[in-house]
Amino acid sequence: MRIAMLTESFYPTIGGGEKRYYEIAKRLSHRHEIHVYTVCFCGLKQEETIDGIHIHRCTRVSSRFDEKGEHAYTHGPKFSYEILSKQAKNLINYDIIDFNQWPIFLPSFLSLLLRLNKIPSILTWHEVRQGVYSDWNSMEALIGRLFDLLNSKIPALHMTVSNVIKNQLVSSLRISPQKIFVISNGVDLKCFRKNYTKIFGRITYAGQLLRHKHVDWLILAYTKIKKVFPEAELHIVGEGPMFPSLKALAEELQIEGITFHGYIPYAKLVEMLKTSWIFVLPSTREGQGITLLEAMAAGTPPISVDTEYSGVKDVIKDCWNGFLAQPNVNSLAKKIMFLLNSKDIHKKVSKNGLNYVKAFDWDIISRRVEHLYEYVVK
């Protein structure tokens, strides 16, 4: 098959959706011709082939983020316009188009062209707009909601990463459940085979430093933990627009043991996860949470927060393979200290996580996506 994936950002930019498309695309490239159309962020080549993936970068932009500490939504219209004006004639030569829901405009604008040329498409959802209204002004929320409704009517089939998001697609956008396929995110299990010794009290966060990730809650929770467990240490891996304010918060609190690592190579991240005692993802908005699966693969119990629109509930079975805290500082601190207080529970949760994550290897996930593509093309 000739497969086109259209997504606002892609490897080597960092993020859950970016990682999903990259891991799936590089595996499918062994059997199919894979093309990715994406935004050209500063410093990247417009055309290149990586791991068998043909990457076409359009619409040069200098930064992915806005002044609020979130992804800039202005890239979407520019990218959509360039695809329509310069790439549309190429897209009718593919067997199937996989749209990422970001940018929100593209599926709606391209739908007529694809239908006229009988090109099947799938829309991949990572979240439903109702869950991000608190981060948008009223006009952004209205536009986002409108395009979610339009996009929900376009492809014959939809793909999403968790049952939580599927339920939102059904309840909020009235998409038939029979038209929605849940195919989880994954983890490259072979990267986690090397053994490392765990360091008691090592707490780690890894991910983009965005406002909705609430790493500030984790820093404040750590100040409470440090008073009870003086050997505790907090490692924050990742970069993003919230980096300066988080660094300033840590300096203001004058608490020892907080290390900001920035971006690190994946092998180093694996080592960090495997040596950690606890992994914490305090984000209030996740389609599913790849880092939670990676923590389990590392034998490190994960803690996240339970909110209405977050898909982490699909990954963490509370008190079995991880823990769900309420979205506040005190609840996070209590869950972390609970795990620090009981090595028996830590061992049990770690073992359950290792068994659970075996079904989520990217090789398994990519085959499921491939089968869905084949089903749609037929």
Q: What is the pLDDT of residues 346-356, one digit of tens each?
A: 999 999 999 99
Domain at 141, CATH number: 3.40.50.2000
Residues 245 and 311 in one domain: yes
> Do 151 and 220 belong to one domain?
no
Report which DSSP code applies to 51.
Answer: T
How is residue 189 written in tokens? 């299990």
Kindly state the average pLDDT of the residues 207-219: 95
What is the structure's pLDDT at 293? 98
User: Domain check: are 109 and 248 in the same one?
Assistant: no
223 with 166, same domain? no
Residue 217 CB partners (closer than 8 Å, separation 6+): 282, 327, 328, 329, 332
Residues 61-75 have a mean pLDDT of: 63
Question: Cis peptide leading into 77, omega within 30 of 0?
Answer: no
Over residues 8-58, the pLDDT tens digits come to 899 998 889 999 999 999 999 999 999 999 999 888 999 999 999 999 998
Q: Are 100 and 21 in contact (CB under 8 A)?
A: yes
- Residues 180 and 241 grouped into a single domain: no
Residue 258 is predicted with a pLDDT of 98
pLDDT of 227 above 70: yes
Do residues 243 and 153 both lie within one domain?
no
Question: CA angle at residue 96 from 91 to 98, to 5 degrees?
Answer: 90
Average pLDDT estimate for 151-174: 92
State how many domains the chain has: 2
Distance CA 185, CA 191 (A): 16
Say yes or no: 85 and 112 in one domain: yes
43 and 182 in a single domain? The answer is yes
pLDDT at 154: 81
Name the least confident of 90-104, 222-236, 264-278. 90-104
- 109: pLDDT confidence band, cut at 50, 70 and 90? confident
pLDDT recorded at residue 134: 47
Q: CB-side exposure of 196: number of CA atoms within 13 Å? A: 21
Q: Same domain, yes or no, for 343 and 372?
A: no
> For the range 191-195, what are the long-range contacts, defined as Cβ-Cβ under 8 Å and sequence gap of 24 or more?
191/266, 191/267, 191/270, 191/297, 192/270, 192/273, 192/274, 192/294, 192/297, 192/298, 194/270, 194/271, 194/274, 195/274
3-state secondary structure (DSSP) of residue 238: strand
> Which tokens is 81 given?
């316009």
Q: Do 241 and 279 belong to one domain?
A: yes
Q: What pLDDT does residue 112 have?
A: 78
The pLDDT value recorded for residue 61 is 81
Together in a domain, 337 and 226: yes
Specify the range with the lowest mean pLDDT, choosing from 68-82, 223-237, 296-310, 362-376: 68-82
Sequence-distant (≥ 6) Cβ neighbours of residue 88 within 8 angstroms = 110, 113
- What average pLDDT does the segment 300-326 reach? 96
Pairing of strands 302-305, 323-325: parallel
Chain mean pLDDT for the chain:
91
Residue-number span of the structural domain to which 50 is assigned: 2-186+361-377
Question: What pLDDT, on the 0 to 100 scale, is given for residue 287?
Answer: 92
Do 130 and 212 lie in one domain? The reply is no
Write the DSSP symbol of residue 187: B
The backbone torsions φ and ψ at residue 10, rounded to the nearest 5 degrees and listed phi first, read: -155, 165
What number is the average pLDDT over the span 335-358?
A: 97
* pLDDT tens digits, 187-210: 999 999 999 999 999 999 999 999
Tokens of residue 286, six digits? 């996740």
Give pLDDT tens digits for 267-307.
Answer: 999 999 999 999 999 999 999 999 999 999 999 999 999 99
